[in-house]
Amino acid sequence: MLWYWLALLGTLTAVGLVRWVWVLVPERGRRRYVRQNLKIMARLRGCGSAGSERDRRLSRRFTETYLRQDGVFVLKLVT
Q: How many other C-beta atoms can be found within 10 angstroms of the C-beta atom of residue 62?
A: 15
Residue 50 has pLDDT above 80, yes or no: no
Span 4-22, pLDDT tens digits: 999 999 999 999 999 888 8
pLDDT at 53 over 60: yes
The domain ranges of the chain are 2-78
Q: Is the pLDDT of residue 34 over 80?
A: yes
DSSP states of 16-53: HHHHHHHHHSSHHHHHHHHHHHHHHHHHHHT---S-SH
